[in-house]
Amino acid sequence: MMTPLHIGFIPLVDAAALIVAVDKGFTAAEGLDVTLVREVSWSNIRDKLNIGLFEAAHLLAPVAIASSLGLGHVKVPIAAPFNLGINGNAITVSPALHAAIMSQIEGDRFDPMATALALARLVADRRKSGKEPLTFAMTFPFSTHNYQLRYWMAAGGVDPDEDVRLVVLPPPYMVDSLTNGHVDGFCVGAPWNSIAVDRGVGHILHFVSDILVRAAEKVLAVRQNWAEKNPEILASLVRAISRAAGYVEQNRSETARLLAQPERVGVDAAVIQRTLDGRLKISPEGTIRESDRYLLVGREDASRPDPAQAAWLYAQMARWGQTSISPDALKTAMAVFRPDLYDAALGRSGAASAAVPAVGAFAGAAFDPHDIAGYLASFAVKRC
């Protein structure tokens, strides 16, 4: 007898392993009858997961932590036994802002410190001339996009709460908002940066892998109490998605075709394949940039949750005043990422997993999950 599951997702390329697991029959082979439900906003995903309308979800990693800590909403402990994506975001700006940043830049245009300092000079000039602050969009207050934008800006001396406006937009609305001049730039996951470039309304300024070498992005999220009551079902789901993650890396053209379907991501397959290949057009003129770290799905142990990544996300919440520092809260945050469930489902030994570096930011102190206070004290721009 098949076990029915309802799983929510946002139309993004880093939902690939989840979509492939269902559409290629990997979940059915594990005895699971999965219905994927496409949603437009992260608040919808979070709320439907929390109240039990979804058994599992494609979820922003920081939202899983915030839910477990009771930040910004009701407290519902979440378990994340699988990473659906590492990296995968980019910062895209309007042609006008791109030209303005390039006019101020000193150094390599792909160096995030050079662009952050150029942005700082531009912000100062706009303030002197009485112009409105620049507006940047991100997908949710508790999102990697928020923290990545802030990290980049603050490294150049721009205070993201004082010097610019940050607004929240669902991923599918980003491009239209840039087109209409409602925002000057945004940080979002694929494919929406590429859609902006293809429509001639945006330039990809940075891949997030320029800013952070390895950043946990989306997770498979389940309620902790559901995980405890349904360990075999969860293990079956993890196995199916793990199989799919390997398939994604070996069959990118077929993956792109599946994700292009209207009920999935619903954009041209060629755009999705460029994302999976890490070969993106970054300007309307056709400039191509390649990175083998743009989006990691099934390679470099990307699927295995790393509690140190959860600690880094918790530190960003503290840095920007979303929570206070507490040993208990840090412990709770790190416990959201569950490599033990991942290893058990796949019959792996945790000790056998390859050691991978956590985060690797382009600027600032090296991150130490055992000294969050010291790490935060090193920053000049912060809210804590």
Q: What is the pLDDT of residues 68-126, one digit of tens each?
A: 999 999 999 999 999 999 999 999 999 999 999 999 999 999 999 999 999 999 999 99
Helix axes of 144-155 and 112-128: crossing angle, nearest 10 degrees: 80
Q: Strand 288-290 and strand 295-296: pairing? A: unpaired
CA 220, chain centre distance (Å): 12
- CA angle 114/120/126 to nearest 5° reads 135
- If one counts the domains in the chain, the total is 1
Residue pointed to by tokens 């989840």: 18
| Residues 333, 65 contacting (CB under 8 angstroms) | yes
The residue range of the domain holding 350 is 3-86+217-269+325-361
- 25: CATH: 3.40.190.10
> What integer pLDDT is reported at residue 322 of this predicted model?
98
**HEC-encoded secondary structure of 99-151:** HHHHHHCCCCCCCHHHHHHHHHHHHHHHHHCCCCCCEEEECCCCCHHHHHHHH
240 within domain boundaries: yes
55 and 6 Cβ atoms separated by less than 8 Å: yes
Q: Convert 221-232 to b/e letters by CB count within 10 Å (16 or more is b).
A: bbbbebbeebee
Task: Tell me if 56 is assigned to some domain.
Answer: yes
Which pLDDT value is given to residue 358? 74
Per-residue pLDDT of 189-246, as tens digits, reads 999 999 999 999 999 999 999 999 999 999 999 999 999 999 999 999 999 999 999 9
What does pLDDT average to over the chain? 96
Q: Is residue 167 part of a domain?
A: no
For residue 352, give every residue at least 6 positions away whose Cβ sits within 8 Å of its Cβ, in sequence order, or none: none
Given a cut of 90, whether residue 355 has pLDDT beyond it is no
pLDDT tens-digit series, residues 114-129: 999 999 999 999 999 9
* 24 in any annotated domain: yes
What span, in angstroms and rounded, lies between the C-alpha atoms of 353 and 357? Answer: 12
DSSP secondary structure code for residue 355 in this structure: P
Tokens 């029915």 locate to 4
Percent of the chain with pLDDT over 70: 98
Better-predicted residue by pLDDT, 355 or 16: 16
Structure confidence by residue, pLDDT tens digits, 15-65? 999 999 999 999 999 999 999 999 999 999 999 999 999 999 999 999 999
Residue 12 lies in a domain: yes
The more confident residue out of 356 and 7 is 7
Average pLDDT (140-158) is 98
pLDDT at 309: 96
Residue 306, helix vs strand vs coil: coil
pLDDT of 370 over the 80 cut: yes
The b-or-e profile of 145-154 (16+ CB within 10 A means b, else e) is bbbbbbbbbb
pLDDT at 352 > cutoff 70: no
Distance CA 199, CA 184 (A): 15
Quick one: tokens of 293? 């770290």
Give tens-digit pLDDT for 322-342: 999 999 999 999 999 999 999
Longest dimension (CA), the chain: 69
Q: Which residues fall within 8 angstroms of residue 311, CB to CB, at 6 or more apart?
A: 330, 333, 334, 367, 369, 372
How large is the average pLDDT for residues 287-303?
95
The answer to whether position 231 is within a domain reads: yes
* Residue listed under structure tokens 């952050």: 116
pLDDT at residue 357, as a whole number: 61
**Percentage of residues in the chain having pLDDT higher than 90:** 96
Per-residue pLDDT, averaged over 138-145, amounts to: 96
- 203 lies in a domain? no
Quote the pLDDT of residue 55.
98
Assess if residue 206 is contained within a domain: no
Torsion of CA 96, 97, 99, 102, to 10 degrees: 180
Spatial contact of 213 and 237, defined as CB atoms under 8 Å apart: no
Query: What global pTM score does this model have?
Result: 0.96
